[in-house]
Structure 1
Amino acid sequence: MNVELIRLTKRYGETTAVDAIDLKVPSGAYCCLLGPSGCGKTTTLRMIGGHETVTGGEVVIGPRAVGNAPPAARGTAMMFQSYALFPHLNCRDNVAFSLKMRGLPKAERHARASQMLDLVQMGHLAERLPAQLSGGQQQRVALARALVTGPKVLLLDEPLSALDPFLRVKVRAELKRIQAELGLTFIHVTHSQEEAMALSDLVVVMNGGRIEQAADPRSVFEKPATGFVARFIGGHNVIRLPGSEIAVRADRMRLGSEAGPEAVPARVVSVEYQGTSVHVGLAPERTDDGAGPLTAIIADEAFALRPLALGDAIAVGWDATAAHRLHG
């Protein structure tokens, strides 16, 4: 089901948390709301789900504006950051609880709960209590609980933040699989650039209660709309030139004899080995031409042939075709 936000606004007294944003999320898309803490992404998610009142504007889910309709009347389900499983109920009863509240017979609600547990690969642990599960397993049970009511839109508030990095990668692959298998619209809040890029069809970068850019992951990375997006997404150098500002991907910077006509003299201030690549931090000798601290990403094999050390002097530049003009 498609979701549309029209001039959506949330104020807390004199503070504007979400500032008249417009957004269209197509039916069946995986959308990530991405941004730093306090940018308004979780407040936006909660307004979509009906867990936060709207100050102004409208939330449209499918064919109708939902206004101040309660969460249960919106066709949405929320998976909160804290899984909040009932400690005295086993996995099956945790998943079936909302169906019990709706008055479904025990056999039917257990059958639907078992189906959802199988979907998240937790059917074999249906009898276990939450305390007997790992964090990743609890996360899967919470996901099954959110899905069991048959929502058309699933809202996820930083669902992977409590997991260790290895498990986070594994579970996000499961999220993508489940979303594709069910064909639901997922709207997922995260502050992780890597997570947003890996999961989403639509990345919505927020800052200060506003949307800086909304596009597919490749477009956001290749063509960041603003300096904020380029810096927050990472992997770019933001360079001020006379009358303009540009972003150049760090892996497209050129060093030494390949630096080209845009070259500026610089010194190496950091060298970080990252396995397949080496990240070289550079401090330009001159700052009057707009070049602040820069990063160049070099393939590990190329770096091994021409290694650099802290304090080395080297020219740094970029090909003009690698520069992307920013709008703000």
Structure 2
Amino acid sequence: MDIELAGLTKRYGATTAVDGIDLKIRSGSYCCLLGPSGCGKTTTLRMIAGHETVSAGDVVIGPRAVGDLAPAERGTAMMFQSYALFPHLTCRDNVAFGLRMRGVAKAERHRRAEAMLRLVQMEALAERLPAQLSGGQQQRVALARALVTSPKVLLLDEPLSALDPFLRVRMRTELKRLQGELGITFVHVTHSQEEAMALSDLVVVMNAGRIEQAADPRTVFERPATAFVARFIGGHNVITLPDRRVAVRADRMLLGPEAGPEAVAAQVVAVEYQGSAVHLGLTAPDLVTDAGTPLTAILSDRAFAARPLRPGDTVRLGWQPGEAHRLDA
């Protein structure tokens, strides 16, 4: 189902957590709400779910406003960061619990629970208790439990944050596969730029309760709307030029003879080997950077090996004119 947020606001006394945001999420898309802690992304998700009351504005799911409806009446399901599995229930019974609360007969709810466990590749562990599962297995069970009621919208609150890096990548693939197979709308809260880029059709970057940019991942990375987005997404240098403020991707910075006639002198202050690439930290007196931070240039391992640099070296630094993307104020 389509989701529309219109002037959505949440206040806690004198504190505004979500400040009049407008957003449209099309049916069947994977949307990630991305931003630092305290930016309002989880509060927004909870207002969509009905777990937080709305101070002002509307939440519209499908054809109707749902602000006055209970969570169970919205056609949504929520997967919590903690997974919140019942420790005394088997995987099957955890998955079937929501159906039990709705009065579904035992045989039918077990059939549907087992179908969901197959979908998340956990059917062989249906009789195990949560304590007998790994973190990734618990996540799959929590996901099956959220999906068993056939929601039109699945809401996920930092579902991968408790997993180790290897498993996090694997579960990203599983989430994307499931969303594609089921064809329902996913709204996923994360503070991980990599996670949002890998999963979403729509990235919504939030800051201080407001939306800084909402676009597909490539647009957000290639053309960040504001200095905040450029900084938070990473991989960009935010530079103040005499007539404007711009973002230049770190992998588009040019060093040495290729830097062009308008290049400036820069000093290498850091070299970080990252396997396939080398990240250089540089300072350039003639360039005003965001918050006075060093500039970053990313070179391929092969390019760096052909012309290695060390901290203290001086080099010409520049970029092609078309690589400087203008930022909003």
TM-score, length-scaled by structure 2? 0.98
Relative to structure 1, the CA distance from residue 289 to residue 146 in structure 2 (aligned partners, 3 Å threshold; closer, same or farther) is closer
Give the CA deviation at 1:264.
Answer: 1.5
After TM superposition, what 4+ stretches of structure 1 lie above 2 angstroms from structure 2? 285-292
**Conserved? CA contact 1:239–1:292, under 8 Å:** no
Query: What is aligned with 1:305?
Result: 306
- Matched ranges for 1:13-28 at <5 A: 13-28=13-28
- Matched ranges for 1:89-168 at <5 A: 89-168=89-168
Relative to structure 1, the CA distance from residue 288 to residue 303 in structure 2 (aligned partners, 3 Å threshold; closer, same or farther) is closer
- Matched ranges for 1:1-328 at <5 A: 1-287=1-287, 293-328=294-329
SS of equivalent to 1:228:
helix
Give the CA deviation at 1:256.
Answer: 1.1
Q: What number of residue pairs does the alignment pair up?
A: 328
**Conserved? CA contact 1:281–1:293, under 8 Å:** yes
Give the CA deviation at 1:292.
Answer: 5.2
- Aligned AA (1:227): A
Give the CA deviation at 1:286.
Answer: 3.6
1 CA distance for matches of 2:98 and 2:254?
Answer: 58
2 CA distance for matches of 1:15 and 1:114?
Answer: 45
SS of equivalent to 1:211:
strand
Give the CA deviation at 1:155.
Answer: 0.2
Render the CA deviation track for 1:65-117: whole Å, top value 9, x for unaligned: 01221100000000000011111110000000111111111000000000000
2 CA distance for matches of 1:11 and 1:124?
Answer: 46
Identify unmatched segments of 5+ residues in structure 1: none
RMSD over aligned CA atoms reads 1.1
Give the CA deviation at 1:150.
Answer: 0.6
Relative to structure 1, the CA distance from residue 37 to residue 288 in structure 2 (aligned partners, 3 Å threshold; closer, same or farther) is closer
Give the CA deviation at 1:243.
Answer: 2.7
Give the CA deviation at 1:285.
Answer: 3.1
Render the CA deviation track for 1:198-231: whole Å, top value 9, x for unaligned: 0000000000000000000000000000000001
TM-score, length-scaled by structure 1? 0.98
2 CA distance for matches of 1:286 and 1:204?
Answer: 34
1 CA distance for matches of 2:181 and 2:296?
Answer: 40
Render the CA deviation track for 1:14-40: whole Å, top value 9, x for unaligned: 110000000000000000000000000
SS of equivalent to 2:43:
helix
Render the CA deviation track for 1:149-187: whole Å, top value 9, x for unaligned: 110000000000000000000001000000000001000
1 CA distance for matches of 2:256 and 2:294?
Answer: 17
Render the CA deviation track for 1:106-164: whole Å, top value 9, x for unaligned: 00000000000000000110010001000000000000000001100000000000000
**Conserved? CA contact 2:240–2:287, under 8 Å:** no
Give the CA deviation at 1:261.
Answer: 3.0
**Structure 1, 292-301 or 168-177: larger mean CA deviation:** 292-301
